Amino acid sequence: MESMELFEGISSGNLNRMLSCFHARKSSFSRGQTIHTYSSSLEKVGILLSGKAHLYCIDQSGSYTLLERFEKNGLFGELFTLPLDNLEYIVEADSDCEVLFLPYSCIVRPCANICDHHTRLIDNLFHLTTQKSQTLSFRINLLSAKTTRQKLLNYFHYIQARSESSSFTIDMSLTDLASYLGVDRSSMMRELKAMKNEGILESKGRRITMKTIQHS
Amino acid sequence: MESMELFEGISSGNLNRMLSCFHARKSSFSRGQTIHTYSSSLEKVGILLSGKAHLYCIDQSGSYTLLERFEKNGLFGELFTLPLDNLEYIVEADSDCEVLFLPYSCIVRPCANICDHHTRLIDNLFHLTTQKSQTLSFRINLLSAKTTRQKLLNYFHYIQARSESSSFTIDMSLTDLASYLGVDRSSMMRELKAMKNEGILESKGRRITMKTIQHS
DNA sequence: AAATATCTGTGACATATGCAACTATTTTAT
DNA sequence: ATAAAATAGTTGCATATGTCACAGATATTT
């Protein structure tokens, strides 16, 4: 746990003392389990120590909206999301995962437990939160694209740049990708097929190979 | 400037000393002016002291995407957005506004200028960043809605709850609202008209009055 | 006060996309 | 090893939505 970015610069001994002083709680979850549901009050911040999870919400008509996907270092909780009163928010495990919960009262200022390790924790938390902000911005960019094709191309272009190869494997199911891009799954499959026919890319399941240099 | 949330808990004298040590720069802009363009490296963080502004990006084909809207305390910069290499990012003033720029090197750890005020600044910055995260999440929720009507209803429902009245005025032009919701303006107007005809709401320009209790 | 630019409002048209329904394949659980 | 569940892949159909092209109303600038 000392290797987590959240605890960088905090010695193992200090960390343990701080966590017990904070009443921090570490829990494990397996695929499909509910990790957290949001209330209207600020209660705790969760951070994913390992595994994958996602946050979704359900409205009164029962329709599902994917809000966020979390990997290691992913932060969740009311502090970051502002729950709307007519929606239900649920963080669910996508794989076996470990989660650390920090009570909100130990993070918010003014703080009773002021100490070096605490300020260092806030500092680390700040940097993780800017990363979260980048992730959210990136998805806003994707969701803002006018067409399904543009959404796919923007997403693929990004993965392609990260993987430094024109061949890559999407790290989620195509069903989840559709939710992530905010499009209907079958519509997305249709567009993927059209792009294959036009020679823009090759695809088999989650494996994608870009054939032409994609702009924008 | 001492009244800014960013500087809460920092005395006026310490603030001035810290800002000059940071080489912080305060600038004024008027409507339409470019406040900042993003580069691939982390250079500085901007915070809106007063006025309104927005961040948009332009792709190679010249198409416009609204990424964020900023008011007082709005944070912008590469730290929060992760610029994609094929897009141009521009922060532009929507009204006369004042901006404080903080060089990134003074925010990132490890920091040479470690002091009480600095940790307090990070603490404040952290809380502003969680607010930003909430704002971004909220828009992802809106952009994820499947239909234009659902986007409008979700947005109106939120404004209605905030204003505690079924009558309210949208704080941006309808043209900007369309960008914000990621829909075509004329399509949005069409839908607005349909909702009027169905007796769901009344509208005249930016003034909206909800007629029926809206769920979800 | 006039000129200019921006914004609101509307309609015709083409099409991209959601929806429903189904099969085949792959993965997970028992 | 078998059953069950989730995922990938496809198609027809209806329609919601983008595009284009206006006119009138409001702002903004000079």
Collect all residues of chain A within an 8 Å Cβ-Cβ radius of residue B45: none
Measured between alpha carbons, how far is B92 from A78 in angstroms, rounded to an integer?
Answer: 30
Flag whether residue B85 sits within 8 Å of chain A, measured between CB atoms.
yes
Residue B140's closest chain A neighbor by CA? A140
Does A140 sit within 8 Å of B136, measured CB to CB?
yes
Flag whether residue A213 sits within 8 Å of chain B, measured between CB atoms.
no
Flag whether residue A12 sits within 8 Å of chain B, measured between CB atoms.
no
Q: Does residue B86 or residue B206 have the better pLDDT?
A: B206
pLDDT at B204 over 80: yes
pLDDT band at B151 (very low <50, low <70, confident <90, very high): very high
Measured between alpha carbons, how far is B201 from A111 in angstroms, rounded to an integer?
Answer: 46
Does A119 sit within 8 Å of B123, measured CB to CB?
yes
Q: What is the pLDDT of residue A14?
A: 87
Report which secondary-structure segment, H or E, holds A28. strand A25-29
pLDDT at B72 over 80: yes
pLDDT along chain A (216 residues), means of 10: 88 88 92 93 92 94 94 96 93 95 82 73 94 98 96 96 94 97 98 96 96 58
User: Closest nt to B188 (CA→C1')?
Assistant: D17
Give the B window 87-146 contacts with A, CB below 8 Å: 87, 108-109, 119, 122-123, 125-127, 129-130, 132-134, 136-141, 143-146
A197 vs chain B: nearest CA distance in angstroms? 23
Q: What is the pLDDT of residue B87?
A: 94
**Residue located via tokens 């010695």:** A11
pLDDT of B155-165, one tens digit each? 999 999 999 99
What is the rounded average pLDDT of the residues B81-96? 94
B74 vs chain A: nearest CA distance in angstroms? 13
Does A130 sit within 8 Å of B66, measured CB to CB?
no
pLDDT at B2 over 70: yes
Q: Which long-range contacts (CB under 8 A, 24 or more apart) does B6-15 make?
A: B6/B47, B6/B73, B6/B100, B6/B121, B6/B124, B6/B125, B6/B128, B7/B121, B7/B124, B8/B120, B8/B124, B9/A109, B9/B120, B9/B123, B9/B124, B10/B117, B10/B120, B10/B121, B14/B117, B15/B117
Q: What is the 8-class DSSP label of residue B40?
A: S
In this complex, which of A60, A84, A157 lies closest to B215 when CB atoms are compared?
A60
Q: Encode B86-114 in three state secondary structure.
A: CCEEEEEECCCEEEEEEEHHHCCCCCCCC
pLDDT band at B43 (very low <50, low <70, confident <90, very high): confident
Whole-number percent of chain B with pLDDT over 70: 95
pLDDT at B211 over 50: yes
Q: What is the pLDDT of residue A62?
A: 87
CB B87 within 8 A of CB B56: no
- The mean of the pLDDT values for chain B is 91
Q: What is the pLDDT of residue A112?
A: 59
Q: Does residue B119 or residue A89 have the better pLDDT?
A: A89
A7, A67, A86, A123, best to mutate vs chain B, most B CBs in 10 Å: A123
Q: Which of A184, A69, A139, A53 is nearest to B143 (CA)?
A: A139
- Å from B147 (CA) to D12 (C1')? 22
Q: What is the 8-class DSSP label of residue B3?
A: T
Q: What is the pLDDT of residue A144?
A: 97
pLDDT at B197 over 80: yes
pLDDT band at B45 (very low <50, low <70, confident <90, very high): very high
Provide the Cα torsion B16, B18, B21, B25; round to 10°: -60
Q: Does residue A212 or residue B198 have the better pLDDT?
A: B198
B168 vs chain A: nearest CA distance in angstroms? 18
User: Closest nt to A189 (CA→C1')?
Assistant: D9
- Å from B189 (CA) to C10 (C1')? 9
A81 vs chain B: nearest CA distance in angstroms? 4
pLDDT at B214 over 60: no
Task: Report CA-CA distances (Å) from A46 to A50, A88, B117, B155.
Answer: 12, 17, 28, 28
The DSSP code sequence of B121-186 is: HHHHHHHHHHHHHHHHHHHHHHHH-SSHHHHHHHHHHHHHHHHTSSEEE-SS-HHHHHHHHTS-HH
pLDDT at B109 over 80: no
B80, B127, B130, best to mutate vs chain A, most A CBs in 10 Å: B130
Measured between alpha carbons, how far is A74 from A57 in angstroms, rounded to an integer?
Answer: 17
Output the pTM of the full model.
0.94
B123, B124, B149, B177, best to mutate vs chain A, most A CBs in 10 Å: B123
